[in-house]
Chains A and B, each alone.
Chain A
Amino acid sequence: MENLIALLVAAPLLGAAVLLCGGRRLDAVGHWIGTVLAAASFVIGALLFADMLGKDAEAREIGQHLFSWIPVGDFQADIAFQLDQLSMTFVLLITGVGTLIHVYSIGYMEHDERRRRFFGYLNLFLAAMLLLVLADNYLLLYVGWEGVGLASYLLIGFWQHKPSAATAAKKAFLVNRVGDMGLSIAIMLMFTTFGTFAFGPVLGRVGETGEGTLTAIALMLLLAACGKSAQVPLQSWLGDAMEGPTPVSALIHAATMVTAGVYLIVRSADIFNAAPNAQLVVTVVGAVTLLFGAIVGCAKDDIKKALAGSTMSQIGYMVLAAGLGPIGYVFAIMHLVTHGFFKAGLFLGAGSVMHGMNDEVDMRKYGGLRKYMPVTFVTFGLGYLAIIGFPGLSGFFSKDKIIEAAFAKGGAEGWIVGGAALLGAALTAYYMTRVMLMTFFGEERWRHRATASPDQPDVEPAAEHQGAHAEPHPHESPKSMTIPMIVLAFGSVFAGAFFGIGDRFVHWLEPVTGHEHGHPPVSALTVTLSTVVVLLLGAGLAYLHYGRRPVPVVAPRGSLLTRAARRDLLQDDFNHVVLVRGGEHLTRSLVYVDHTLVDGVVNGTAASVGGLSGRLRRLQNGYARSYAVSMFGGAAVLIAATLLMRAV
Chain B
Amino acid sequence: MSASAVHSLWTMAADPIEKIDAPKIEYGQLAPTLIVIGAAILGILIEALVPRRSRYHAQVFLSVVALAAAFAAVVALAAGGHATTKAGIVAMGAIAVDGPALFLQGTILLAGLLGVFTFAERRLDPVAHGNRVDSFAAQAASVPGSEGEKAAVRAGFTTTEVFPLLLFAVGGMLIFPAANDLLTLFIALEVFSLPLYLLCALARRKRLVSQEAAVKYFLLGAFASAFTLFGIALLYGYAGSVSYATIAQVVDGTVQNVTPALAETMGNDALLLVGTAMLVMGLLFKVGAVPFHMWTPDVYQGAPTPVTGFMAAATKVAAFGALLRVLYVVLPGLRWDWRPVMWAVAIVTMLGGAIVAITQTDIKRLLAYSSIAHAGFILAGVIAASPDGISSVLFYLAAYSFVTIGAFAVVTLVRDAGGEATHLSKWAGLGRRSPLVAAVFAVFLLAFAGIPLTSGFAGKFAVFKAAAEGGAGAIVVIGVISSAIAAFFYIRVIVLMFFSEPRPEGPTVAVPSPLTMTAIAVGVAVTVVLGVAPQYFLDLASQAGVFVR
Contact partner of B291 among A614, A630, A642, CB < 8 A? A630
**Bound Cα distance A177, B406 (Å):** 52
A646 at the interface (CB under 8 A from B): yes
Whether the pair A635, B227 counts as a contact (CB closer than 8 A) is: yes
Whether the pair A638, B294 counts as a contact (CB closer than 8 A) is: no
Query: What does the 1/0 interface line of B156-171 toward A look like (CB < 8 Å)?
Result: 0000000000000000
Query: What does the 1/0 interface line of B339-366 toward A look like (CB < 8 Å)?
Result: 0110011000000100111111000000
Whether the pair A635, B359 counts as a contact (CB closer than 8 A) is: no
Known: A622-B298, A631-B224. A642 touches B358 (CB 8 A): no
Query: What does the 1/0 interface line of B207-234 toward A look like (CB < 8 Å)?
Result: 0000000011001100110010000000
Whether the pair B337, A634 counts as a contact (CB closer than 8 A) is: no
Whether the pair A645, B336 counts as a contact (CB closer than 8 A) is: yes
Contact partner of B269 among A619, A638, A646, CB < 8 A? A646
Whether the pair B216, A627 counts as a contact (CB closer than 8 A) is: yes
Which residues of the partner chain A approach B227 to less than 8 Å between Cβ atoms?
Answer: 635
Whether the pair B297, A634 counts as a contact (CB closer than 8 A) is: no
Whether the pair A643, B281 counts as a contact (CB closer than 8 A) is: no
**Bound Cα distance A639, B282 (Å):** 12
Which residues of the partner chain A approach B273 to less than 8 Å between Cβ atoms?
Answer: 639, 642-643, 646
A609 at the interface (CB under 8 A from B): yes
A617 at the interface (CB under 8 A from B): yes
A619 to chain B, nearest CB (A): 8
- CB-based nearest A residue for B276: A642
Total contacts A to B, CB within 8 angstroms? Answer: 92
User: Looking at chain A, what size class is its interface with the partner chain?
Assistant: 20 to 34
B31 at the interface (CB under 8 A from A): no
Whether the pair A613, B355 counts as a contact (CB closer than 8 A) is: yes
**Bound Cα distance A624, B216 (Å):** 6
Which residues of the partner chain A approach B488 to less than 8 Å between Cβ atoms?
Answer: 606
Which residues of the partner chain A approach B359 to less than 8 Å between Cβ atoms?
Answer: 610, 613-614, 617
Which residues of the partner chain A approach B340 to less than 8 Å between Cβ atoms?
Answer: 641, 645
**Bound Cα distance A613, B356 (Å):** 4
Whether the pair B223, A631 counts as a contact (CB closer than 8 A) is: yes
Which residues of the partner chain B approach A624 to less than 8 Å between Cβ atoms?
Answer: 215-216, 219-220
Whether the pair A646, B337 counts as a contact (CB closer than 8 A) is: yes
A631 to chain B, nearest CB (A): 5
- CB-based nearest A residue for B270: A643
**Bound Cα distance A614, B290 (Å):** 17
A185 to chain B, nearest CB (A): 33
Query: What does the 1/0 interface line of A591-626 toward B look like (CB < 8 Å)?
Result: 000000000000000100110111011011010101
Contact partner of B294 among A613, A614, A631, A646, CB < 8 A? A631
Which residues of the partner chain B approach A610 to less than 8 Å between Cβ atoms?
Answer: 358-359
Whether the pair A635, B358 counts as a contact (CB closer than 8 A) is: no
Whether the pair A633, B291 counts as a contact (CB closer than 8 A) is: yes
Whether the pair B485, A609 counts as a contact (CB closer than 8 A) is: yes
- CB-based nearest A residue for B217: A624
Interface residues of B in 290-309 (CB under 8 A from A): 290-292, 294-295, 297-298
Whether the pair A620, B297 counts as a contact (CB closer than 8 A) is: yes
Whether the pair B278, A635 counts as a contact (CB closer than 8 A) is: yes
Whether the pair A630, B337 counts as a contact (CB closer than 8 A) is: no
Which residues of the partner chain A approach B223 to less than 8 Å between Cβ atoms?
Answer: 628, 631-632
B277 at the interface (CB under 8 A from A): yes
Which residues of the partner chain A approach B216 to less than 8 Å between Cβ atoms?
Answer: 624, 627
B53 to chain A, nearest CB (A): 39
Query: What does the 1/0 interface line of A460-482 toward B look like (CB < 8 Å)?
Result: 00000000000000000000000
Whether the pair B224, A641 counts as a contact (CB closer than 8 A) is: no
**Bound Cα distance A34, B285 (Å):** 81
A625 to chain B, nearest CB (A): 9
**Bound Cα distance A606, B338 (Å):** 33
Which residues of the partner chain A approach B436 to less than 8 Å between Cβ atoms?
Answer: none
Interface residues of A in 235-276 (CB under 8 A from B): none
Known: A613-B359, A620-B294. A639 touches B336 (CB 8 A): no
B491 at the interface (CB under 8 A from A): no
- CB-based nearest B residue for A623: B216
Whether the pair B291, A631 counts as a contact (CB closer than 8 A) is: yes
Contact partner of A643 among B215, B224, B274, CB < 8 A? B274
Which residues of the partner chain B approach A606 to less than 8 Å between Cβ atoms?
Answer: 488
Whether the pair B291, A641 counts as a contact (CB closer than 8 A) is: no
Whether the pair A639, B358 counts as a contact (CB closer than 8 A) is: no
Which residues of the partner chain B approach A642 to less than 8 Å between Cβ atoms?
Answer: 273-274, 276-277, 337-338, 341
Whether the pair A627, B278 counts as a contact (CB closer than 8 A) is: no
A597 to chain B, nearest CB (A): 19
B290 to chain A, nearest CB (A): 8
Whether the pair B356, A627 counts as a contact (CB closer than 8 A) is: no
- CB-based nearest A residue for B359: A613
**Bound Cα distance A619, B216 (Å):** 16
B280 at the interface (CB under 8 A from A): yes
Known: A635-B281, A642-B274, A643-B270. A628 touches B344 (CB 8 A): no
Contact partner of B356 among A620, A622, A634, A639, CB < 8 A? A620
Which residues of the partner chain B approach A609 to less than 8 Å between Cβ atoms?
Answer: 355, 358, 485
**Bound Cα distance A632, B285 (Å):** 11
- CB-based nearest B residue for A628: B223
Whether the pair A612, B224 counts as a contact (CB closer than 8 A) is: no
Contact partner of B274 among A622, A628, A639, CB < 8 A? A639
Whether the pair B292, A631 counts as a contact (CB closer than 8 A) is: yes
Query: What does the 1/0 interface line of B287-331 toward A look like (CB < 8 Å)?
Result: 000111011011000000000000000000000000000000000
**Bound Cα distance A626, B216 (Å):** 11
B300 to chain A, nearest CB (A): 12
Query: What does the 1/0 interface line of B352-393 toward A look like (CB < 8 Å)?
Result: 100111111000000000000000000000000000000000
Known: A613-B356, A628-B220. A645 touches B337 (CB 8 A): yes
With A609-B355, A635-B277, A642-B273 already in contact, 13 other A-B pairs whose C-beta atoms are closer than 8 Å: A613-B355, A613-B359, A614-B359, A622-B298, A628-B219, A628-B220, A630-B292, A630-B294, A632-B223, A635-B227, A635-B281, A639-B274, A645-B340
B contact set with A: CB distance below 8 Å:
215-216, 219-220, 223-224, 227, 269-270, 273-274, 276-278, 280-281, 285, 290-292, 294-295, 297-298, 336-338, 340-341, 344-345, 352, 355-360, 485, 488
12 contacts between A and B (CB under 8 A): A616-B355, A620-B294, A622-B298, A628-B220, A631-B220, A631-B224, A631-B292, A642-B276, A643-B270, A645-B337, A645-B338, A646-B273
> Which 4 A-B residue pairings sit nearest by Cβ, starting from the closest?
A634-B291, A627-B294, A639-B277, A613-B358
